[in-house]
């Protein structure tokens, strides 16, 4: 009886407070108190009244991420962190917005996509889509991993990420990117015609539809939903108009392969990165067509007889709903559903641009998050840059130079926006603090890097730099840094400073098989450059072996001639 009296007294006290202050709004209706943003917003710039804090850092090469209803964050790593795992779970138990518990799981697993759907954690590798059951109150899902879909091993080469999304009606949509850039007869070779028809279609360069709940599926159990889509790392279902949307990576090398048709400036800016509304049966034209945002139409690719103006078979091919500058590298897409941000953001599209490597002799671009306002599934205005400054103050010659590279997007249960970085593994959480909050971020002043223009080089080194700038720099970058997962670096590797004969034969024969350097795999095919003279090969390899911090000996014309003679005799 004494306990009941205590509760009754507490009830009377609460009733008195409510009487004095009137019918106070329920706690649920009051705006939550947000944690203060980091002083530098984690190194990025945002619109006024938005702020960011770092949730976690140095996780590994973070790709996409998902946020559970209780606020737990799940991050997919592009490469499993040594002795830890390829998925990371983060939990904030202090309420300051930052993770204070970090757990790795899924040993030796790596990929791009991760999503939470119907109480399962779905994630993909280059050949599988898998899932594990979520456990109430537990950070780590059930240890049992079921395989939903298995793709052919051949789809693990080229554009290999298996991004996916759900439509809410029991279907899952999975990207199978193209193997090649433009389906050329000779991969990445200047002037090479395209295969017609392209044998990659309809299996590759397509988004496939499968059952979201059936285990043990293969491509025989699914169907291509939309084809002619070169590669889609970011795709999402828009529940406003009940349609699938994707952001496509456009093709490369218009000028390098077709210098008589395209200037290097045109190749820098084209083709557009396309924002697509994908409906069943759509064909967006790859490899025969690309979207020229300056002419506002699909153009016939030069590999198939195009001259930069002719549409030909591309006339009538479905156009994108919006276009972005070429070679920005869109890697994730998210439709904002929350209530934290101002009303204008509701149902609009956020796109994470991972940054490009294929802009010839120009500074690389992208590395930002754009926002596209939308209503009823249609853009209502031009895109705007929402978050920037990820690269830091330096000029970006190689993607490796960027401080951060935004890759993944996810919405928290409170409407905050999470961003994942693939360079170091930083996770940001972006809040809106209200109009007039005074929260601002400062723009970073760019520092232009001073590159060696060759004036201090003489002899073979100077001649080799000329060859390098003409044929090699577009893939291996001005600083020899290469492109992660695509084109290998030319510094700090035995492939360059080691066996001379092996290096000469890479130039003479090309290299099509993936190679591993310092624990990282590179899979972009290199065409044979046997059209170069022995002297040109000698000069460029001498330049490479003596640049970028390398201190290896020269390669002579006689050494190149000897290897060429051996190849000729073998043929």
Phi, psi (degrees; rounded to nearest 5) at 97? 85, -5
- Exposure string for 161-177, b = 16+ CB within 10 A, e = fewer: bbbbbbbeeebbbbbbb
Residue 519 CB coordination number (10 Å): 7
Q: What is the pLDDT of residue 3?
A: 30
Q: What letter would DSSP give residue 357?
A: S
Question: Residue 326: exposed, middle, or buried by beta-carbon count in 10 A (0-12, 13-18, 19+)?
Answer: buried
CATH numeric code, 46-51+126-134+146-411 = 2.120.10
Map out the domains of the chain as residue ranges. Answer: 46-51+126-134+146-411, 459-570
The partner residues of 300 in beta bridges, in order of sequence, read 289
CA distance 116 to 131: 9
Q: What is the pLDDT of residue 304?
A: 98
Structure token digits, residue 106:
């899924």
- Bond prior to 271 in cis (omega within 30° of 0): yes
With contact defined as beta carbons under 8 Å apart, do 165 and 231 qualify? no
Q: What is the pLDDT of residue 472?
A: 86
Q: What is the pLDDT of residue 514?
A: 80
Closest CA to 204 of 180, 235, 171, 184: 180
CA distance 32 to 385: 27
With contact defined as beta carbons under 8 Å apart, do 183 and 192 qualify? no
What is the secondary structure of 10-55 as a DSSP string? Answer: HHHHHHHHHHHH-SPPPGGGSPPPPPPPPTTGGG-B--TTEEEEEE
With contact defined as beta carbons under 8 Å apart, do 99 and 90 qualify? yes
CA distance 40 to 49: 14
Token pair 């759509």 in the structure block, residue: 282
Q: What is the pLDDT of residue 82?
A: 81
Q: What is the pLDDT of residue 455?
A: 53
Structure token digits, residue 452:
């060696």
Closest CA to 165 of 112, 227, 91: 112
The partner residues of 14 in beta bridges, in order of sequence, read none
With contact defined as beta carbons under 8 Å apart, do 426 and 50 qualify? no
Phi, psi (degrees; rounded to nearest 5) at 164? -155, 165
With contact defined as beta carbons under 8 Å apart, do 332 and 407 qualify? yes
Structure token digits, residue 200:
């990659």
Residue 498 CB coordination number (10 Å): 12
Structure token digits, residue 297:
């139409």
With DSSP H G I counted as helix, E B as strand and the rest as coil, what are the percentages for the chain, rounded to 5?
20, 30, 50
CB within 8 A of 47, min separation 6: which ones? 386
CATH numeric code, 459-570 = 1.10.760.10
Beta-sheet pairing, 164-166 with 146-150 = unpaired
Q: What does each of the 571 residues of the chain score in pLDDT, given as a tens digit?
A: 233 333 333 333 333 333 333 434 444 456 678 999 999 999 999 999 999 999 999 999 999 999 999 999 999 999 998 889 999 999 999 999 999 999 999 988 999 999 999 999 999 999 999 999 999 989 999 989 999 999 999 999 999 999 999 999 999 999 999 999 999 999 888 999 999 999 999 999 999 999 999 999 999 999 999 999 999 999 999 999 999 999 999 999 999 999 999 998 999 999 999 999 999 999 999 999 999 999 999 999 999 999 999 999 999 999 999 999 999 999 999 999 999 999 999 999 999 999 988 887 788 899 999 999 999 889 999 999 999 999 999 888 888 889 999 999 999 999 999 999 999 999 999 999 999 999 999 877 766 544 444 556 778 888 888 888 878 887 888 888 887 777 888 888 888 998 989 999 999 888 878 888 877 788 777 878 888 889 899 898 989 999 988 988 899 999 989 989 988 888 7
Sign of the torsion angle spanned by Cα atoms 39, 45, 51, 55: negative
Between vectors from CA 358 to CA 278 and to CA 114, what angle results, nearest 5°? Answer: 45
Beta-sheet pairing, 223-227 with 282-283 = parallel
Question: Residue 158: exposed, middle, or buried by beta-carbon count in 10 A (0-12, 13-18, 19+)?
Answer: buried
CA distance 417 to 67: 10
Structure token digits, residue 493:
């590797």
Q: What is the pLDDT of residue 447?
A: 62
The partner residues of 164 in beta bridges, in order of sequence, read 174
């Amino acid at each position: 009886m004494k306990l009941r009296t205590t509760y009754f007294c507490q009830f009377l006290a609460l009733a008195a407070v409510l009487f004095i202050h009137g019918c106070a709004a329920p706690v649920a209706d009051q705006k939550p108190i947000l944690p203060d943003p980091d002083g530098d917003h984690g190194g990025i710039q945002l619109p006024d009244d938005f702020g960011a804090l770092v949730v976690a850092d140095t996780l590994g090469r973070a790709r996409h991420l998902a946020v559970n209803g209780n606020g737990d964050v799940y991050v997919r790593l592009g490469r499993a962190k040594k002795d830890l795992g390829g998925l990371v779970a983060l939990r904030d138990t202090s309420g300051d917005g930052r993770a204070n518990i970090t757990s790795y799981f899924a040993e030796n697993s790596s990929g791009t996509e991760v999503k939470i759907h119907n109480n399962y954690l779905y994630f993909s590798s280059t050949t599988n889509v898998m899932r594990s059951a979520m456990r109430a109150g537990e950070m780590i899902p059930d240890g049992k991993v079921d395989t939903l879909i298995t793709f052919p091993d051949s789809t693990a080469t080229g554009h290999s990420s298996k991004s996916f999304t759900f439509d809410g009606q029991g279907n899952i949509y999975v990207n199978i990117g193209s193997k090649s850039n433009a389906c050329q007869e000779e991969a990445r070779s200047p002037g090479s015609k395209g295969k017609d028809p392209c044998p990659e279609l309809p299996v590759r360069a397509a988004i496939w539809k499968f059952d979201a709940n059936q285990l043990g599926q293969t491509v025989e159990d699914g169907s291509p939903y939309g084809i002619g889509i070169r590669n889609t790392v970011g795709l999402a279902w828009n529940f406003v108009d009940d349609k699938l949307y994707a952001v496509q990576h456009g093709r490369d090398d218009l000028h390098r392969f077709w210098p008589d048709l395209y200037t290097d400036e045109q190749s820098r800016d084209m083709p557009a990165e396309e924002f697509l509304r994908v409906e069943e049966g759509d064909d967006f034209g790859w490899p025969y067509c690309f979207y020229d945002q300056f002419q506002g139409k699909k153009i016939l690719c030069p590999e198939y007889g195009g001259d930069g103006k002719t549409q030909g078979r591309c006339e009538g091919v479905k156009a994108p709903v919006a276009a972005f500058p070429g070679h920005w590298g869109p890697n994730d897409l998210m439709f904002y559903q929350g209530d934290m941000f101002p009303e204008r953001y509701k149902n609009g599209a956020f796109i994470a641009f991972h940054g490009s490597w294929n802009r010839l002799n120009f500074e690389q671009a992208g590395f930002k998050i754009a926002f596209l306002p939308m209503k009823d599934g249609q853009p209502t205005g031009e895109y705007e840059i929402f978050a920037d400054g990820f690269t830091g103050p330096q000029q970006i010659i190689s993607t490796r130079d960027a401080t951060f590279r935004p890759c993944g997007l996810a919405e928290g249960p409170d409407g905050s926006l999470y961003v994942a970085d693939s360079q170091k593994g930083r996770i940001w959480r972006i809040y809106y603090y209200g109009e007039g909050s005074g929260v601002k971020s400062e723009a970073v002043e760019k520092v232009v890097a001073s590159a060696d223009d060759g004036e201090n080089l003489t002899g073979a080194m100077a001649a080799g730099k000329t060859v390098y700038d003409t044929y090699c720099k577009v893939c291996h970058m001005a600083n020899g840094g290469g492109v992660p997962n695509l084109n290998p670096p030319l510094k700090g590797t035995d492939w360059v400073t080691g066996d001379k004969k092996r290096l000469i034969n890479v130039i003479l024969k090309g290299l099509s098989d993936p190679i591993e350097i310092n624990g990282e795999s590179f899979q972009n095919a290199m065409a044979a450059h046997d059209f170069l003279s022995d002297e040109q090969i000698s000069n460029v390899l001498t330049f490479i072996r003596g640049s970028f911090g390398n201190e290896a000996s020269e390669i002579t014309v006689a050494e190149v001639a000897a290897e060429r003679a051996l190849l000729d005799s073998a043929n």
